[in-house]
Chains A and B, each alone.
Chain A
Amino acid sequence: MAIEVRIPTILRTYTGGEKAVSGDGASLSALIDDLETNHPGLKERLLDNGDLRRFVNVYVNDEDVRFIGGLDAELSDGDEVVVLPAVAGG
């Protein structure tokens, strides 16, 4: 099983500069754990206290995961996951 994960510029320090990496997992939570084994430190940038960080957006097949179960969002082979930092401020 392989899921392509698009990594934003600011997190490419964890992927050796790669714009996309591949991982697997039946849920977003499992995928993030899998990514962490190959790209240590990434998980900490995505999660805070076990939940997705407020200002990190994650999409599965162009849907914002917040609307499809968050970390419990189900994944299958061939899904495309995109991570984008929110553009926000005060």
Chain B
Amino acid sequence: MVLTIDQATYDAIVAHAKRDHPDEACGIVAGPQGSDRAERLVEMVNAAGSPTFYEFDSMDLLQLYKQMDANDEEPVVIYHSHTATGAYPSRTDIGLAQEPQAHYVLVSTREHGNNDGPVEFRSYRIVDGEVTEEEVAVVAQLSSN
């Protein structure tokens, strides 16, 4: 298993995580259903506004899913940041993961916070409480299909 993501989307997720540090940042990358193509980044507001928790606002969530439904899309990537710990799913992340087909991306900003510098960027599948890390392949652009 591998998450293939284009450089611009990767950079935008990292920038979002750095911007929102020390709170957790969150969002998704939508793509056509069944395509596994992470095409459309949607930054979400962390309604919890917390350094240790994230939650999409319930009305934003409804609008997001309606829009994806209308576009025949699904969440290909669900990302959030950890601001004081590593880029590994927490117990809470595992317990609340409810999109078995999604790549769960974790970005850790603990090293450099809001500043320039490398981050940990890792991807996982979380299915029925089972976490499987996968390779992240950053490409210049997604191949055309």
The reply to whether chain A is a binding partner of chain B is yes
Among A8, A9, A64, A90, the residue within 8 A (CB) of B58 is: A64
Considering the complex, which residues of chain B in the window 33-57 have a beta carbon less than 8 Å from any beta carbon of chain A? 44, 48, 52-56
Residue of A nearest to B62 (CB): A59
Give chain B residues whose Cβ lies under 8 Å from the Cβ of A64.
58-59, 62
A-B contact pairs, 25 of them (CB 8 A): A8-B98, A10-B100, A55-B96, A57-B61, A59-B58, A82-B62, A84-B61, A84-B62, A84-B65, A85-B98, A86-B56, A86-B58, A86-B96, A87-B26, A87-B44, A87-B55, A87-B56, A87-B61, A87-B78, A87-B98, A88-B48, A88-B55, A89-B53, A89-B96, A90-B53
A51 contacts chain B at the CB level, 8 A cutoff: no
Where chain B touches its partner, the secondary structure class is: mixed
Give chain A residues whose Cβ lies under 8 Å from the Cβ of B92.
88-90
Give chain A residues whose Cβ lies under 8 Å from the Cβ of B48.
88
A6 to B139, CA, bound (A): 36
Q: Is the CB of B62 within 8 A of A88?
A: no
